[in-house]
Amino acid sequence: MKVKVMDITATVTQGEVEAGRLHSDIEVDASEGKSITLPTNFETSVRMDLIKLAVASSRANRRQAYGSRAHEGKRRP
């Protein structure tokens, strides 16, 4: 499988405006790069069941522990 690669360059310039606030200008330049050959692993189909399982797992691990005591789920009061 051959794909085209894009060369992306971002430039950030900061300048001081009135009252000491900073002003940021962001410029993004994109140009076509070379084409590369990907390994055969990228030709397999996407398994949506694995993606759903991974998303559900990461969301469940993000939850804060809770309990009936005021400081339950925390290391120190």
Residue 30, token pair as written in the block: 């994109």
Domain boundaries, the chain: 2-61
Length of the chain: 77
Q: What is the pLDDT of residue 70?
A: 73
CA proximity to 65, closest of 75, 57, 73, 55: 73
Could you say which residues of the chain have pLDDT below 70?
A: 65-67, 72-73, 76-77
d(CA 48, CA 51): 5
CA proximity to 6, closest of 26, 33, 27, 28: 33
Q: What is the pLDDT of residue 1?
A: 82
d(CA 12, CA 28): 9
